[in-house]
Amino acid sequence: MSQAQARPSWARLPSGGNDMLETHFSGRSGRPGTAAILMALFCLMAALLGSNGPAFAHASLVRVEPADGSMVATAPKSFFLTFSEPTSPLVLKLLRPDGTAVILDRFALKDTTLDIEAPADLADGTYVLSWRIVSEDGHPVGGSAVFSIGAPSAGPAMGGIDETIDYCVRAAIWISKICLYSALFFGAGGIFFIHWVGGRSRPARCVAWTAAAIGLIATPLSVGLQGLDALAVPVSGLLAPAVWKAGFSTSYGMTAVIACVALLAALAAGLLHGPAGKALSLAGYVGIGVALAASGHASAAHPQWLMRPAVFLHGIGIAFWAGSLVPMAIAFKSPSEEAIPLLRRFSRIIPFAIVPLVAAGLLLAVVQVRTVGAITTTAYGQVLLAKLLVLIVLFTLAAINRLRLTTPTEDGDERAARWLRHSIRCEIFLMLVIFAIAGLWRFTPPPRALEEAAAVPASVHIHTEKAMAEVTMTPGHAGPMAATIVVMTGDFGPLDAKEIALVLSNPSAGIEQIKRQARKSDDGIWRVDDLTLPVPGQWTVRVDILVSDFERFRIEDRIDIRR
């Protein structure tokens, strides 16, 4: 059989036709649907980029010493910040009563606690301890605590870390995420597909190479944007060295470095043929998964030995699927002898990419969301729901392509080939929508992180000359909880108490004293189990210690109960 006879009739005909599906995909009847998707995505983006408040803190403050609103008799030698997970400090400063600021650059990280050396010349008055740190998943968290030494100042020190939302920075970060995903998946993924599966037409190579090249520009820039967000600096400060240092200090800095290496490998592979090109394209393809696994919500979850490989498999699965779309679309756009063999090879290979992609995606979703209710009640879950809705459409198209269009197209059915061509174009658009939705996760802590932060205990150390107590309340948020109390003498010696009572009140919320007797357990720790604090906020905690019939101590302080 000659080549002319072997070529299906649809490949010799000009593209066109007046069937309803072609009209829909050409945009004349498809515009309302596309506009609706873009409008919904824009509204979701605006809501999430503009969200602010405690629910979006990715590492929660568990304890600050001196406590917010407290008064201490003498100047502390150190400040302590304890978070729900290990952190890295970006900005630590102390505002004096006269309004001047002191940068605190001497500190040590001990597990989840920052031990910060205090200046030696602290006089009486009101101070503001301000911090901005970056959590394990690369997100900045800031806050301040006001305390007084000796007596409050006539006018409290003002200032602190600016937590005002910078919409320009957030929008730029979101756009950079879309550029990164497009470069990795359409660029590096496309070059890998071209070398190992087929579709090596000049237009396909140009599209993939251009996507990777744009990514190589956008990815380093995104590090600077991360630095702006980490330091709460406007876009005008992008060229400041401190901004770039802060950006690279986050976990995203490693992702950007690996992504640039992967894109460089892909760009080189796009210019080469033969074994060298295939090897470099494979290196770029593997680099996609490694880059994505280096940072982010899922990679920060535990157990790391399971979550990072899951992110890797999910990433390379997406890269293969997305990377195949442009070469396939171009192959079917005009008469091509390679179109049918390319379709057959793709059909044989794609299940090996889809199965791990779906399995890893389900695992990541289960670990991150944990409960079905969190899908609708948290911002992260709402983004996931939006992504799932688009994925349903995408997988439906993919199923139709495989089950209804592939075989007829291979047999030369020109109508099926035309439908397949438009379906692939639609898949490209839906992939871009998914990248845009996934980029919104940068601004949303997963329910896993919120749940872990909520379970972290709240604690306070009460120290007087004659007695001291360490009070821990688990979990540290409003609702039912249990309290443990460890007591000692003022000089850290043993204190044999006969009775201990825990007294809590919140006058600002109109809640008078809640008193519970503690019981002593076998390990010497006093416990209160039947305790409920109905509202969050700063509570006054008092420990009544009965040592003997003639000796009783009452010591008190304040403790922060989270929402």
Q: What is the pLDDT of residues 235-247, one digit of tens each?
A: 999 999 989 988 8
Q: How confident is the model at residue 11, as a pLDDT?
A: 41
Q: What is the pLDDT of residues 269-327, one digit of tens each?
A: 999 989 999 999 999 999 999 999 998 878 778 888 899 999 999 999 999 999 999 99
How many other C-beta atoms can be found within 10 angstroms of the C-beta atom of residue 306?
A: 14
Q: What average pLDDT score do residues 122-140 get?
A: 83
Q: Which long-range contacts (CB under 8 A, 24 or more apart) does 343-346 make?
A: 343/406, 343/409, 343/410, 343/420, 344/410, 345/197, 345/198, 346/197
Better-predicted residue by pLDDT, 409 or 461: 409
Confidence of residue 25 (pLDDT cuts 50, 70, 90): very low
Helix (H, G, I), strand (E, B) or coil at 505: strand
Q: How confident is the model at residue 30, as a pLDDT?
A: 40
Q: What is the pLDDT of residues 491-527, one digit of tens each?
A: 888 888 999 999 999 988 888 889 999 999 888 899 9
Q: What average pLDDT score do residues 10-29 get?
A: 38
Better-predicted residue by pLDDT, 428 or 536: 428
What gap in Å lies between CA 292 and CA 347, rounded to an integer? 26
Better-predicted residue by pLDDT, 30 or 372: 372
Better-predicted residue by pLDDT, 490 or 138: 490
- The mean pLDDT of the chain is 84
Q: What is the pTM of this model?
A: 0.76
pLDDT higher than 70, residue 54: no
Q: What is the pLDDT of residues 382-396, one digit of tens each?
A: 999 999 999 999 999
Which of 71-85, 270-284, 324-338 is modeled with the greatest confidence?
270-284
Could you give the percent of the chain with pLDDT greater than 70?
Answer: 87
- Each residue of 23-41: b (16+ CB within 10 Å) or e? eebeeeebeeeeeebeeeb
CA 229 to chain centre: 13
CA 62 to chain centre: 20
Range scoring the smallest mean pLDDT among 182-186, 226-230, 312-316, 427-431: 226-230
The burial class, CB within 10 Å (0-12 / 13-18 / 19+), for 541 is buried
Q: How confident is the model at residue 221, as a pLDDT?
A: 95
Contact (Cβ atoms closer than 8 angstroms) between residue 90 and residue 249: yes
pLDDT higher than 70, residue 158: no
What gap in Å lies between CA 50 and CA 29, rounded to an integer? 33
pLDDT higher than 80, residue 39: no
